[in-house]
Amino acid sequence: MDKKSITLIVITIVLIVLTALQKPFSQPASYHQFADQVSFWGISNAWNVLTNLPFIIVGGYGLYCLTITSTSAAIKRMYTILFLGIILTGIGSAFYHLVPDNFRLLFDRLPMTIIFMSFLAITVYEWISPQWGNRLFYLLLLVGFVSLGWWYYTEQQGRGDLRFYLFVQFYPMLAIPLIYWLYRSPEKNRKIRILIWVFLWYIVAKVAEVYDEQLFAAIGFSGHSIKHLAAAVATWYMVRFYEKYYQASPLLALPA
């Protein structure tokens, strides 16, 4: 095992231990209270529902790209799950925002877990080793599902524990840039140019989420709705990466 792999494994173990050492904490009830609760066309919380449509469009376009390329079975499988996760994120988030509660939040978070863990497995495949990316793919998905199941189970028991789900959400956003840096090369650095946009738009999404009420008061459009749109743009660059590096014929010839 080389030094790069050891470094990545050690950092992962340290983060897992630090997560486990934190005190369990539940989902605050206030989480479900979003700034924009305007309804129209018979749709409750309409903008928070409708701004999920771009996820469905982006994921659908990703699946289209898969139909016009010839790649390895492993790559096609991983990207299929990723793009399905993007579509399901749009559906699950819309379902949640119609009547926000912990049960519906489960259907919002499950597809996001698919995106995070698929994206991490694809990164391992592309940057470290196709064999390890393929081997870790289902394991990472399982870890994501278990973390989410544990959160919901503990909430039902009245002692909610969000620690491990939050680890699953944020660990890929730390591990993937670390992998880019550890396994950098001139060829791989060219690929990173597109994927940098994934992280920039993800940061925009998280900032907008934090400032939900302030943005709604300032511009009449909530931070949470902006979060959906920014996150959808982030997933677009995941599709764009596949489209560019696996020679899919683009419907939309956007610059890298």
Q: List, for residues 57-86, the tens digit of each pLDDT value.
A: 999 999 999 988 878 888 999 999 999 999
Q: What pLDDT, on a 0 to 100 scale, did the predictor assign at position 256?
A: 42
Q: What pLDDT, on a 0 to 100 scale, did the predictor assign at position 255?
A: 43
pTM, two decimals, is: 0.91
Of 133, 38, 117, 106, which Cα lies nearest the Cα of 84?
A: 117
Low-confidence ranges of the chain (pLDDT < 70): 248-256
Would you list the domain boundaries of the chain? Answer: 47-245
Q: What pLDDT, on a 0 to 100 scale, did the predictor assign at position 244?
A: 85
Fold (CATH) for 47-245: Rhopdopsin 7-helix transmembrane proteins (1.20.1070)
Distance in angstroms (rounded) separating the CA atoms of residues 50 and 226: 11
Residue linked to tokens 């940098």: 196
